[in-house]
Amino acid sequence: MSWRWAVAVLAVVAQTLALYWPDPVEAPDGLALPHADKVVHVGLFLLATWALLRVLPAWGALGLMAVQVVASELVQGALLPHRSADVWDAVADLVGIALGWALWRWTQRRAIDEAVAVARGVMEKRQ
């Protein structure tokens, strides 16, 4: 297994554990930040989307993440008694997916730009 697959598997496992853990993890008294759970949702989906886009076709990675958005809210609302479905969690998830895609595109563009620069340098040396 390549390191990219290992990162993708680790990101999805961490995301899945966080989303489906039976009891929500509460911050210690005095350390709770307003809407911190939304930041966690954005981060979980950003990382998982970015990691999956590095190993799967875009339609597959984005499709899996979209299914995860719907499934996680349905499971939290219907099957986990100490959790609840929240439309704003789903919005945060979608923001995370969009940011993960944007990060992937940016890293792809940088890699292409670097490859072109190397190729130009090689071609100039040959002339």
Angle of helix 36-53 versus helix 58-78 axis, rounded to 10: 150
**pLDDT tens, position by position, 14-70:** 999 999 988 877 766 666 677 788 999 999 999 999 999 999 999 999 999 999 999
**pLDDT tens, position by position, 67-80:** 999 999 999 999 99
Tell me the two tokens of residue 59.
């339609």
**pLDDT tens, position by position, 78-97:** 999 888 899 999 999 999 99
pLDDT above 80 (res 103): yes
Using alpha carbons, select from 112, 116, 2 the residue that is nearest to residue 51: 2
